Amino acid sequence: MKRVVLILIALMLVFSLAPSAIGSSEAQDGVEITFVHIFGDENDIRNEIVRDIVADFTAETGIQVNIQTTIADYDEVLDRTILDAEQGDAAHVVQLDETANRFAVDSGQFVNISSIATEEQLASLDDILPPVREVFTVDGDMWSLPWNTSNAVMYYNRDMFVEAGLDPDDPPQTFDEILEACEVIMASDLELAGCMNWPLTAWFVESWMANQGALVVNNQNGHDGRATEALFLSDEMKLIFNWWKEMADRGYYVYTGKTVDYNGEAGAFITQRFAMHLNSTAGLTNFQYYAELLNWDLGVTNFPLPNAEATNGVISGGASLWITEGHSEEELEAAREFVFYMTSAENIAQWHKASGYFPNRQESIDMLEAEGFWEENPAFRIALDQMLQTTPTPATGGVILGPYPQVREILETAVQSVIDQGESVDDALAAAKQLADREIEDYNLFYLD
């Protein structure tokens, strides 16, 4: 099975983890746990915020947390964790994105947080926003705690809108409106590489499917039993692909040529080669910093809808904190206290203000409203409002799927075949469905035997 092969290959990959012990000298004789997160870039403000919160935890509890940071992606973190767990040397707490949910449970290497939480901690889960809870629920349980929760938004250059004669206070909100705005922008003298760019990622496809209340896989997106089939041939999926193709054919959409190139696409937008850009709200503080540094006016608005009727809401991205098996009871208790501390209402509110990840707890929202944070920082409210306006359904609850990363790659390859190679939307999706169905079947055979 491809996932097993990938894990074996991971042994040969360069996977750099930089350890950092956070704790007072008095805590050296206490319980010690290890925490892995992906914000390893020294220039990433999120790294500093994590260190501060962890230091506060150690000061309060005496538990020493050894932080291991990496700039690897979530898939590599998962593969490395599974390998380490099989050797009895896994970090106690790891940060994994939503694509890992099904496989992490099936692997048998993680502890169900619902099974070790105290009654008070279990009750606190009700404070997590329902659409977010749905994304991180597997087989009826929340196995992990949502931490850095995001959704997609649209960033745009307000100065370019003014130069093109568009109203910067009324950015486009639908596919058709984007086409109309791009026609105006590209007819101006802005000398752009294109009108709009975004990372070529299946996450956006899933988000646009959720807008329309449409499923990506069967069995209610995997929430009502294991998914057995990809639903790639729907009218909703074809609408997305056809619009993407039209954007590319007209020269409005241009990308770096790489899939899932969040940093590359963001850099092209920041350096003013495009007027509009789609990305995660997670990068909001970075976009604000660079726009100010380069002296241009940044606009932020809702993730564009396929049409005015597609109002079911958005899908959450980001990651959650998982506790691994194979540790002493004392260490598991320490890990449990740590993940609940990291995801407490107070720390989620602090995390939001420092990063752009939206607050996933109602109590955090209440705190931020009480202090008037969004009155001074309205751009930070956009992603939250998108989530609060979301109807919790299997479509907006994300996809629960074992070979999720592989199926995403198949969708991304299908997009490339349409916009780069001229393949028809129908043929590309038919081929993608066949490949995805095979991946799903192989996975289910492996884990259900």
What's the CATH number where 74 sits? Answer: 3.40.190.10
Residues 289 and 322 both lie in one domain: no
Token look-up 């904190």 returns 321
pLDDT, mean over the chain = 92
pLDDT digits (tens, 9 = 90+) for 171-208: 999 999 999 999 999 999 999 999 999 999 999 999 99
On whether the pTM is more than 0.75, the answer is yes
pLDDT reading at 216 higher than 50: yes
Token look-up 């807008």 returns 211
Residues 198 and 118 both lie in one domain: no
Inside any domain, residue 42 = yes
Inside any domain, residue 225 = yes
Residues 414 and 350 both lie in one domain: no
pLDDT at 40: 87
Residue 16: band (very low, low, confident or very high) from pLDDT cuts 50, 70, 90: very low
Residue 449: band (very low, low, confident or very high) from pLDDT cuts 50, 70, 90: low
Helix/strand/coil percentages in the chain, nearest 5: 50, 15, 35
Inside any domain, residue 397 = no
Residues 208 and 279 both lie in one domain: yes
pLDDT at 377: 96
Mean pLDDT of 99-114: 96
pLDDT reading at 3 higher than 50: no
Paired with 321 in beta bridges are 95, 145
Residues 295 and 434 both lie in one domain: yes
Q: Which of 48, 60, 18 is nearest to 35 (CA)?
A: 18
pLDDT at 22: 41
Residues 175 and 110 both lie in one domain: no
pLDDT at 62: 96
The domain tally of the chain equals 2
CA 273/CA 398 separation, integer angstroms:
32
Identify the sign of the CA torsion 417, 419, 424, 429: positive
pLDDT digits (tens, 9 = 90+) for 53-92: 999 999 999 999 999 998 778 989 999 999 999 999 999 9
Residues 69 and 197 both lie in one domain: no
**Quick one: which H or E segment has residue 97?**
strand 93-97
Inside any domain, residue 395 = no
pLDDT digits (tens, 9 = 90+) for 27-42: 334 899 999 999 988 7
CA 284/CA 237 separation, integer angstroms:
28
pLDDT at 78: 94
Residue 44: band (very low, low, confident or very high) from pLDDT cuts 50, 70, 90: confident
Structural domain of residue 104, as residue ranges? 2-150+317-388
- The conformation of residue 142, written as its DSSP 8-state character, comes to E
Inside any domain, residue 398 = no
Q: Report whether 59 contacts 24 (CB < 8 A).
A: yes
Mean pLDDT of 157-175: 99
Residues 355 and 237 both lie in one domain: no
Residues 254 and 181 both lie in one domain: yes
Pair of tokens at residue 71: 């700039």
pLDDT at 18: 41
pLDDT at 5: 35
CA 422/CA 350 separation, integer angstroms:
47
Residues 192 and 257 both lie in one domain: yes
pLDDT at 1: 44
Residues 265 and 335 both lie in one domain: no
**β-pairing, 110-111 with 196-197?**
unpaired
Q: Which of 388, 412, 434 is the last residue of a domain?
A: 388
pLDDT digits (tens, 9 = 90+) for 415-446: 999 999 999 999 999 999 999 999 999 999 99
Buried b (16+ CB within 10 A) or exposed e, 236-273: bbebbbebbbebbeeebbbbeeebbbbeebbebbbebb
Pair of tokens at residue 410: 């198949």
According to DSSP H, which parts of 36-73 are helical?
Answer: 45-61
Paired with 276 in beta bridges are 156, 196
Residues 141 and 73 both lie in one domain: yes
Q: Which of 388, 413, 439 is the last residue of a domain?
A: 388
3-state secondary structure of 433: helix
Inside any domain, residue 396 = no
Q: Which of 135, 152, 144, 148 is nearest to 44 (CA)?
A: 148
**Quick one: which H or E segment has residue 68?**
strand 64-69
Inside any domain, residue 255 = yes
pLDDT digits (tens, 9 = 90+) for 249-294: 999 999 999 999 999 999 999 999 999 999 999 999 999 999 999 9
Residues 363, 366, 372, 375, Cα dihedral to 10°: 100
Inside any domain, residue 222 = yes
Backbone angles phi and psi of 317, in degrees to 5 = -120, -155
